[in-house]
Structure 1
Amino acid sequence: MIQRIIHKSNDNHDLILIFLGWGTDAQAISTLRYPGCDIMAVWDYRDPSFDTSHIQRYRNIYLFAWSMGVMMAERVLCGHPDIRPTLSIAVNGSPYPIDDLRGIPYAIFTGTLDGLDESSLQKFRRRMCRNKEEYAGYRDVQPDRPIDELRDELRILGMLAKENHTIHSTTLKWDRAIIAGNDRIFPADNLRRAWDTLSTRIRITEDGHLPDWQTIINQEIIDKDYVARKFMRSLPTYDNEAVAQKAIAGHLWDMWRNELACRSPQSIIEAGFGTGTMTRLYMSELKPSHLILWDLCPSDIEFTCTSVETLTGDAEEFMSRQPDTSVDAIVSASTIQWFNSPSGFISNAARALSSGGHLVISTFGERNMQELTQVTNLPLRYLTLNELVGLLPANMRLLAADQEDITLRFDSPKEVMRHLRATGVNGMRGTDTPLSRILSGYPRNHDGSVNLTYHPLYLIAEKT
């Protein structure tokens, strides 16, 4: 494989690692940028070896794999289980890339390989693109690689695909699979079938096979610095405005208290404690000897317990470094939706909990802020309750789960936007929808008022 850093800064501690498709190179993504991240492109799979020394220094690795690159990323991580991406996104590809039901049908792949020449290569590249305009743009940056080289690469990929049916990686769990509804290389129905089989969350787009990388990166990676700035600005107004969040914290505490019986955890970690809404509830009754509070932008709160440790930073990163069986309870209210990999956080939390320890979580479901999703093009990152429960590892036993809708009413869409700013909830990048369109298109009630729906999910689980 060819591995090349296409953007680098000495100040960056995170890496976006992109496994490209067959017949490509890094030219088409040479202008790709994301705050705080170096970017590495991987292509040319004639030699399947991968040098991990280039990526060992990074704090977080955000893995994206496109087309045949999905299989190659799986092979690399299967061979290097020490590489643990913070986020893993498959784009218009399958772990079974040559498969009549879950990838490119065998006959089409064989025909492409047998008939490959300069003319058929350009036809293939046209089919990658959604329309003539996209193809014209791609031609300006398309790879200039010899046809014999591309033929050898495709032949080797065909051989590796046969092996992949038997060595499919269990090391890599994809967070999401993006499927282009207008893909003319990988049939969309086949991709749905492949990812449904693996119980991977799917996001459907209207694109063709060729990704819009900048849009995908902006939508899939959560910029924690950006989120922190939004919440920092909201600190003076948060407690007055966070009506839904206070109700959610109250319900989560009631559920947890019902499961505690006479037990009282001696050590508690709370991820995303904010202004202490949830913290004050459980600390009114529990008296842990050690309380650890994490947040991107913590507020100043005081509690009367033996030891309180407040850390400013990324809870996902902190949890990945938390020692095994080191804490009795891990709490997080209305926070993990801001994580790049909720599944990774829950897996690390299960590892860090002591035997009999409790995982206490609330997040948001697919109806959350449904009014806003009607007028923006932001992808839904929310889980269903079944999906949230499904993230529990085998060593966690579900104690309780619940969901509800909390509907707030406002006089106008402007008041909704003011409310979101006052609670820091608008800390999400990735939409190019103008504010004027959001205000004009926001659904209204008969009396002219508007609603904002919160859809909290609740989960209490115990380490067995």
Structure 2
Amino acid sequence: MDKQLIAERFAKARDTYSREARVQQQVAEKMMYLLTQKAGSGFNHIVEFGCGTGSYSRLLLHELRPEALLLNDLCKEMEECVHVLCQSPGVRFLPEDAECLDFPEKTDLITSCSTLQWFNDPAEFFVRCHSALATDGVLAFSTFGAENMHQISRLTGHGLNYLPLEELQSLLTPYFDILHAEEEIVALPFDTPQHVLKHLKQTGVTGTEKKVWTRGRLQSFCDEYIRLFSDNEGKVSLTYHPIYMIAKKKSI
């Protein structure tokens, strides 16, 4: 992963992300619901990695009311988006790659929405989370599965290597008891392929794509998108594949 490029793309999209990231907002709301249903709400010390513009952060603060909430993001510019939250007692922002972050010891909850797919080594990250969590601490996150944006990867040959739910479970099981594992498919409709590309740009999830969009490439992309992924009304869709994981620390 080119973490610098990822940070730059999300920094450029920070003003439009909250408006465009409709699926990510739905995922954050469902993550909060599942977390309170499956793991309760008694979390005094929370770390959120990949806080972005703060959609999930606001839910964590208002629903769980922790004593301490550390908001972390790879992109330092996200501090602008969560500065209001950081006025609340116990809330602070730390810009750093979460894969290198020294978590506060005895954290009750390490959580995130729509971030883990950008990691180089999720397995090692899970080990570090286990070490940082307090006894019976919880790791709860959403990420995306193999069907995520499959239209884009098929037409461009470029996309992330998403881990399937079963592999995530396998990586977690030596260190955590799985409380909940779920996946779903969400199809987001658009009028044209150009609108799909604009949506991706305004959410920052173009991520590591480095190719230049020439006029010819754009035309070919749009023609094929319509041919392969349009419905009877001429609209096109973009697939999201959210995965939700909630796990409690094992004593090993």
Question: Is TM > 0.5 for Structure 1 vs Structure 2?
Answer: yes
CA distance in 2, matches of 1:370, 1:385: 16
Q: Which amino acid aligns with 1:292?
A: L
Structure with the greater alpha carbon radius of gyration: 1
Shift of 1:392: 0.4
Shift of 1:266: 1.2
**Residues 193-204 of structure 1: matches in 2 within 5 Å?**
none
Q: What is the aligned counterpart of 1:457 among 229, 238, 243?
A: 243
**Residues 52-71 of structure 1: matches in 2 within 5 Å?**
none
Contact kept? 2:152, 2:159, Cα under 8 Å: no
Give 2:230's aligned residue: 444
CA distance in 1, matches of 2:127, 2:220: 40
Are 1:225 and 2:4 counterparts?
yes
Q: What is the aligned counterpart of 2:45 among 260, 267, 278?
A: 267
Are 1:392 and 2:178 counterparts?
no
Shift of 1:451: 0.2
CA distance in 1, matches of 2:42, 2:88: 13
CA distance in 2, matches of 1:267, 1:441: 49
Give 1:256's aligned residue: 35
Contact kept? 1:413, 1:439, Cα under 8 Å: yes
CA distance in 2, matches of 1:367, 1:431: 22
Shift of 1:259: 2.2
- Deviations 1:350-378 (Å, cap 9, x if unpaired)? 12111111101100001101111221212
Are 1:282 and 2:68 counterparts?
no
Give 1:311's aligned residue: 94
- Deviations 1:45-73 (Å, cap 9, x if unpaired)? xxxxxxxxxxxxxxxxxxxxxxxxxxxxx
Q: Which amino acid aligns with 1:343?
A: A
**Residues 76-115 of structure 1: matches in 2 within 5 Å?**
none
Contact kept? 1:249, 1:333, Cα under 8 Å: yes
Shift of 1:410: 0.4
Are 1:294 and 2:72 counterparts?
yes
CA distance in 1, matches of 2:121, 2:210: 17
SS in 2 for 1:375: helix
Are 1:328 and 2:111 counterparts?
no
- Deviations 1:15-51 (Å, cap 9, x if unpaired)? xxxxxxxxxxxxxxxxxxxxxxxxxxxxxxxxxxxxx
- Deviations 1:106-140 (Å, cap 9, x if unpaired)? xxxxxxxxxxxxxxxxxxxxxxxxxxxxxxxxxxx
Are 1:420 and 2:203 counterparts?
no
Give 1:350's aligned residue: 130
Contact kept? 1:289, 1:305, Cα under 8 Å: no
SS in 2 for 1:357: strand
Contact kept? 2:61, 2:69, Cα under 8 Å: no
CA distance in 2, matches of 1:268, 1:354: 11
- Deviations 1:304-361 (Å, cap 9, x if unpaired)? 653222111211111xx336x4311001100011111122222211121111111011
Give 1:108's aligned residue: none
Give 1:247's aligned residue: 26
Shift of 1:228: 1.0
**How many pairs does the alignment contain?**
239
Q: Which amino acid aligns with 2:182?
A: D
CA distance in 2, matches of 1:283, 1:377: 39
Q: Which amino acid aligns with 1:291?
A: L
Q: Which runs of 5 or more structure 2 residues have no equivalent in the other structure?
A: none
CA distance in 2, matches of 1:346, 1:260: 18
CA distance in 2, matches of 1:430, 1:444: 26
Q: Which runs of 5 or more structure 1 residues have no equivalent in the other structure?
A: 1-221
CA distance in 2, matches of 1:333, 1:413: 26
CA distance in 2, matches of 1:292, 1:456: 24
SS in 1 for 2:172: coil
Q: Which amino acid aligns with 2:237?
A: N
| Alignment CA distance shift 1:436-1:346 (3 Å) | farther
CA distance in 2, matches of 1:256, 1:302: 24
Shift of 1:417: 0.2
CA distance in 1, matches of 2:23, 2:159: 22
**Larger RCO (CA within 8 A; separation ≥ 6):** 2
Shift of 1:438: 2.1
CA distance in 1, matches of 2:45, 2:9: 30
- Deviations 1:293-313 (Å, cap 9, x if unpaired)? 111222233336532221112
Percent of pairs with identical residues? 37
SS in 1 for 2:141: strand
Q: Which amino acid aligns with 2:232?
A: H
CA distance in 2, matches of 1:328, 1:305: 19
| Alignment CA distance shift 1:284-1:451 (3 Å) | same
